[in-house]
A and B are shown apart, each in its own frame.
Chain A
Amino acid sequence: MKLYEFQGKQLFKQYGIKTPQGVVINTIKKMSEKVMTIKFPAMVKAQVLAGGRGKAGGVKRVLNSKDAEILTTQLLGAELKDCKIDAILVEECVPFVAEYYLSITLDSGSRMPVLIFSKHGGVDIEEVALNNPDKIAKVIVDPLIGLQDFYFASLFRKAGLVEPELKSQITETIRLLYALYTEYDCMLVEINPLMRLEDGTIIAADAKVEIDDSAMYRHPDLLQWRESMYVNELEKQAKAVKFLYIDVESTGTVGVISNGSGMIMACVDWISKQGGQVACALDLSGGATAERVAEGIRILAQNPSVKALLISIFGGITRCDEIAAGILKAAQQPDLCIPIVAKLDGTNREEGMKLLIAANRANVIIAHNVKEASEKVLKTQIND
C-alpha cells in the first residue's frame, strides 16, 4: 500500500524525523480555521499517489491564506494524473540551503536493504540518475550485520559528503528512517527533497512510503488509512469477492480473466503480439465457483473500454466445469453484450468443454490454446 505524503510524514514524526508545519484539508468546511494556523508563504500540495505531481501543477507556492484557500478549493475533488484529489496538504515554506535525496528499499539481487543518498536531490533526481549516476551513492546493508558505522562511512565517501556536523545529522536521519523501514514492513521509504535549513536542521520536505500489503495485518494503525484510500470502482467490486482487478492499458479493448497472474501475463503478451491491447484483467486465483466466475465476468464487462473477453484457465484446484457453468450463466444475461472467448485446460476440462459445446451460444467462442484464443478475441472486434 502506497501512503499519501501527509500519512508518510505522520510516520516520520512518530520516528522523530522533522517535517515542516502543515495541515491536511479534506473538506472546505473548516478550511479557514486550519489555514489560519499556518505561517506564510506556504506550499499547497495535492495529495495523490502519482509521481511528478509538482510538474503537473499539483504543488504550488502561495503568499497568503486567501490564495491558499482559493487554490485548495480549486484542487480539492479535481483530478491530477488520473487520480482524484481527496486531500490537500498546506505546509509552511522552509528556507533551505541544500536539497538532498534519501531512500531505503530492497535490492532485488542481494535481497538486502539498500541505502540511497545524493547531495543533488529535488525534482530533477531522475535526470541525475540518468546522466550522472555516480552522483547517487548506494550502499547495501546486510541485515545479519545491521546498520553499522562502516556503512555510513562508505555511503558518505561515495556521495562526497565531508562536513562532520552534516554527516552526523544525516546519519541520525538514516537511522530513524531505517527503523521505520524495518518496523513498518516498508517496501520503500523515500525523502526527496531532504532539506538542510540555514540553522543546520535537517527536515523531510516530502515523503514517499510504501508498505508491504502482505504485512498489513501487523499494522492495525494503518488499516484506517487503507479504508480511506481512493480505489477504482471495479477494483473495489473485485476485492469484495476476493478477486484481483488490474487496469492494464487505457487504450485497450480486451478484458482478460484467468486463475493466475502468470497466465494473465501470457495472455497480455499474446494479444499485444497480435496487435491488440488489453484494457483490464481479473485474477480469480484458485478454486473459483460458477457463481463467482459469473460475478467476475459481470465486473469486467462494466469497464466501458472492454469490447470482448478472453477467459484462459488452467485448472488445478480450479475446476473447468465450474468455469464453464459460470461463463454460460453470465452469457445468458441479456445485458451482457460482449462476446466471450474461452480456453479451458486442466481439471475437468472435458466436462467443461461439453457444457460449452452443448449450450452452443453465439456469444461464447471456444479456443484450444492461448494463441488461438487471442486471435479469436481480436477477430470478434474486427467484425463489429
Chain B
Amino acid sequence: MSILVDASTRLIVQGITGREGSYHTKMMLEYGTNVVAGVTPGKGGQTVEGVPVYNSVEEAVTEHRVNAAVLFVPPQRTLGAILEQIAAGVKLIITIAEGVPVKDMRTIYHINRANKDITIVGPNSFGVISPGKAKAGFMDHRIYLEGSVGLMSRSATNSYETVNEMTKQGIGQSTCVGVGGDVIPGTSFVKLLPLFEKDEQTKAIVMIGEIGGADEEMAAAYIKNHVSKPVIAYIAGRHAPKGKVMGHAGAIVGADGAGSAESKIEILTAAGVYIADSPAQIVERLNSLLKRT
C-alpha cells in the first residue's frame, strides 16, 4: 500500500521543459515513477526524457489516463497552474514552488474545501515519495528505504535528517509527504492522518512540525479521537525568539504564546503523541516501537 503515490500513479509534470522540471523528470523516471506526460505552453509536440509534452493540461489528460500531477512552475504562476489542473479534473496536485503568495494559496485552499475529492500537497514542499514505488518531487531518493513508517513534515531539511537516520538503522518508510512550510499549505497534517491510519503498510506515524500556525493543534485533536497507530512528533523552534519569522513564512509565534512549541507539545502530549527532542530520538523511539510489534 502506502499513500498518495505508488506503482499505479500516472503522473504529469507541469513545467517539464524547464531546468528543474526536466532534471527531476529524469530523476523520477529513474526511480521508476510512471511519468506519462508533461505540459509546457508553446512546447507541445516535444519530448523530455522520452515523455511527450503538451500545450495544456487538458490535452495531456485527454491523451493519457492521468491521476496525479507535480508542478515545477514558478511561484507567480502556481495559482494558475493549480487551477488548470483542477479544471482538467486532476485529483492529486503536488506543488514545489517556494514563495507562492498567501492570497493565492487561500484561493486554492477554499476551492479545495468545496471540492473535497482533490488533494493538493505543497507549496514549498519537497513532494511525496513512497519508497520503492514512486516519487513526485525533488527529494534525493537515495536516502529512502521501503518500510512501515509514514512521515509528514513541514521542513524538508529536518525530514531528510530523520529519514537518513531511519534508513541507516534499517527502518523504512511507507510514504513521506512534504507538507511544506507556508502559511497556508494545501494539505496539512490533519488531512494526511486518516490516510496513514487506513494504510496497511504504515505501522507508525512521524510528524515533523514547527512553531507557528495551528496545524499541530488540529492534528492533536484528530489523533486523540481517530488514530490508533503510534504517533511520534518533533517540533522545531522550541527556543526561537518570540515574534520572529525564522525563514518559513509559517514559523512565527505571537506574543500570546499561541502557536509556540510549548503549547503545541502540551496539546500533542495530552493526545497521546510521543514528543521527540531530535531526529535521533525519533529513530530511537521507532526502534523500540517496531521491534515490539
- What is the size, in residues, of chain B's interface with A at 8 Å between Cβ atoms? 60
Query: Which of the residues A109, A244, A249, A265 comes within 8 Å of B218, measured between beta carbons?
Result: A109
**A260-293 CB contacts (< 8 Å) to partner B:** 260-266, 268-273, 281, 283
Q: Within 8 Å of chain B (Cβ to Cβ): is A383?
A: no
Contact status B158-A106, CB under 8 Å = no
Q: Within 8 Å of chain B (Cβ to Cβ): is A144?
A: yes
Interface stretch, picked from A11-19, A56-64, A212-220, A300-308, is: A212-220
Query: Which of the residues B75, B109, B113, B156 comes within 8 Å of A260, measured between beta carbons?
Result: B156
Contact status B103-A316, CB under 8 Å = no
Query: Which of the residues B100, B158, B160, B247 comes within 8 Å of A346, measured between beta carbons?
Result: B160
Q: Within 8 Å of chain A (Cβ to Cβ): is B22?
A: no
Contact status A269-B214, CB under 8 Å = no
Query: Which of the residues B113, B156, B158, B217 comes within 8 Å of A266, measured between beta carbons?
Result: B158
Q: Within 8 Å of chain A (Cβ to Cβ): is B1?
A: no
Give the residues in chain B near A338, CB-CB below 8 Å. Answer: none
Q: Known interface pairs A273-B239, A346-B140. Does A143 touch B158 (Cβ–Cβ under 8 Å)?
A: no
Q: Within 8 Å of chain B (Cβ to Cβ): is A380?
A: no
Q: Within 8 Å of chain B (Cβ to Cβ): is A253?
A: no
Contact status A265-B278, CB under 8 Å = no
Q: Known interface pairs A108-B214, A111-B109, A144-B114. Does A263 touch B102 (Cβ–Cβ under 8 Å)?
A: no
- Mask: chain B, 207-244; 1 = CB below 8 Å from A; 0 = not: 01011111001100000000000000000111111001
- Mask: chain A, 81-92; 1 = CB below 8 Å from B; 0 = not: 000000000000
Give the residues in chain B near A248, CB-CB below 8 Å. Answer: 240-241, 244
Give the distance to chain B from A82, nearest Cβ to Cβ, in Å: 13
Give the residues in chain A near B212, CB-CB below 8 Å. Answer: 108
- What is the size, in residues, of chain A's interface with B at 8 Å between Cβ atoms? 50
- Mask: chain B, 116-145; 1 = CB below 8 Å from A; 0 = not: 000000000010000000000011100100
Give the residues in chain A near B104, CB-CB below 8 Å. Answer: 215
Chain B interface, DSSP helix/strand/loop, else mixed: loop
Cα(A190)–Cα(B31), bound, Å: 50
Give the residues in chain A near B110, CB-CB below 8 Å. Answer: 111-112, 142-144
Can you name the residue of chain B whose Cβ is closest to the Cβ of A345?
Answer: B164
- Mask: chain A, 310-330; 1 = CB below 8 Å from B; 0 = not: 000011110000000000000
Cα(A361)–Cα(B289), bound, Å: 42
Give the residues in chain B near A317, CB-CB below 8 Å. Answer: 138
Q: Within 8 Å of chain B (Cβ to Cβ): is A175?
A: no
- Mask: chain A, 206-238; 1 = CB below 8 Å from B; 0 = not: 000000111101100000000000000000000
Q: Which of B100, B184, B246 lies at the interface centre, i.e. has the most chain A CB atoms within 10 A of its CB?
A: B246
Give the residues in chain B near A218, CB-CB below 8 Å. Answer: 101
Can you name the residue of chain B whose Cβ is closest to the Cβ of A244?
Answer: B247
The 7 A-B residue pairs with the shortest CB-CB distance, nearest first, are A262-B155, A261-B247, A260-B157, A272-B239, A215-B101, A263-B157, A265-B236
**Sampled A-B contacts (6; CB under 8 Å):** A143-B110, A264-B246, A268-B246, A273-B238, A316-B138, A316-B156
* Chain B residues close to A by CB (< 8 Å): 75-76, 99-104, 106-107, 109-110, 113-114, 126, 138-140, 143, 153-161, 164, 181, 183-184, 208, 210-214, 217-218, 236-241, 244-249, 251, 255-256, 259, 277-280
* A-B contacts besides A108-B214, A269-B240, 9 pairs, CB < 8 Å: A144-B110, A212-B103, A244-B247, A262-B155, A266-B158, A266-B278, A269-B238, A314-B160, A346-B164
